Amino acid sequence: MKVVVCKDYDEMSQKAFEVMKEVVTSKPGVVLGLATGSSPVGLYKCMIKDHEENGTSYKDVVTYNLDEYVGIDRSNPQSYYTFMKENLFDHIDIDPNNTHVPYGSTKEDCEGYEKELEKVSIDLQLLGIGRNGHIGFNEPGTPFDEMTHIVDLTQSTIEANARFFDNDMNKVPKQAITMGIGTIMKSKKVLMVVSGPEKAEAVKATVEGPVTTDMPASVLQNHPDVTLVVDQAAASLLSK
């Protein structure tokens, strides 16, 4: 695992963009696994800026998102489908038919998304991390071989996401559909971006702790190609 420590969020976003661009321009039809949340927004802004100023094209790029809430429509402002359109897809030349965001609430919906993923090989999977170490919506205790599935969100995740729902936990969806840890680990390369002191304990456990389902992101120690880009606050507990 390669750890890149940056002074702040903006530098973290720029360094992550450099990793992303190298993959995007490496071959036609590259396949990206994408994430939502506050962590990758700066990276997406860098991608948009580069596209506008340098003409980097995404017309042949194919994307698969990690996860989506269960029980809210795609048109909902807080859906991850809407998030991706507003923060990336609407601002680059990607073909909407090449973008995929999971949707649904049943086992069949999960199996359908997993079958789509089996047809491709993700060249780069972008990840953030939850305070409890979740990746995607794979909460602590998720088996490492789990594929796309429906998950009940933990109270800490619901509380963390309440800021997007008028700070009203009653409005936060209680379930999500997510790529499983087994799905994520099949990607050729993983790029994780993390910022803020509230993530420092999770970062330390991911990099230096035991590999355990109690800390889902720790499984990345077993992946052959991981780049972790963090700001100083998130890296503050690392011993090296």
Per DSSP, the three-state class of 89 is: helix
pLDDT in tens, 7-20: 999 999 999 999 99
Per-residue pLDDT, 161: 84
Mean pLDDT over 125-152 rounds to: 95
Per-residue pLDDT, 160: 84
- CA proximity to 66, closest of 9, 155, 134: 134
Q: Computed over its alpha carbons, how large is the radius of gyration of the chain?
A: 17
pLDDT in tens, 73-90: 999 999 999 999 999 999
Catalytic residue of the set 51, 67, 68, 149 = 67
Q: Is 67 designated active site?
A: yes
The answer to whether residue 154 scores a pLDDT higher than 90 is no
The answer to whether residue 240 scores a pLDDT higher than 80 is no
Mean pLDDT over 218-227 rounds to: 98
pTM of the model: 0.95
Catalytic residue of the set 65, 87, 132, 161 = 132
Contact 134, 146 (CB under 8 A): no
Q: Is 76 designated active site?
A: no
Please name the helix (run of DSSP H) or strand (run of DSSP E) that holds residue 110, with its range, or none. helix 107-118
Per-residue pLDDT, 95: 97
Mean pLDDT over 225-231 rounds to: 98
Task: Work out the angle at residue 197's Cα, subtended by the Cα atoms of residues 196 and 198, and round it to the nearest 5 degrees.
Answer: 90
Q: Which two tokens stand for residue 150?
A: 């429906």
Residues recorded for the chain: 240
Q: How far is it, in rounded angstroms, from Cα 169 to Cα 6?
A: 33
Catalytic residue of the set 51, 65, 87, 134 = 134
Catalytic residue of the set 139, 146, 149, 161 = 139
Q: Is 91 designated active site?
A: no
Q: Which two tokens stand for residue 128?
A: 């953030």
DSSP string, 14-70: HHHHHHHHHHHTTSTT-EEEE--SSTTHHHHHHHHHHHHHH----TT-EEEESEEES
DSSP string, 200-224: HHHHHHHHHS---TTSGGGGGGGSS
Per DSSP, the three-state class of 114 is: helix
The answer to whether residue 187 scores a pLDDT higher than 90 is yes
Give the position of tokens 């802004």. 45
Q: Is 139 designated active site?
A: yes
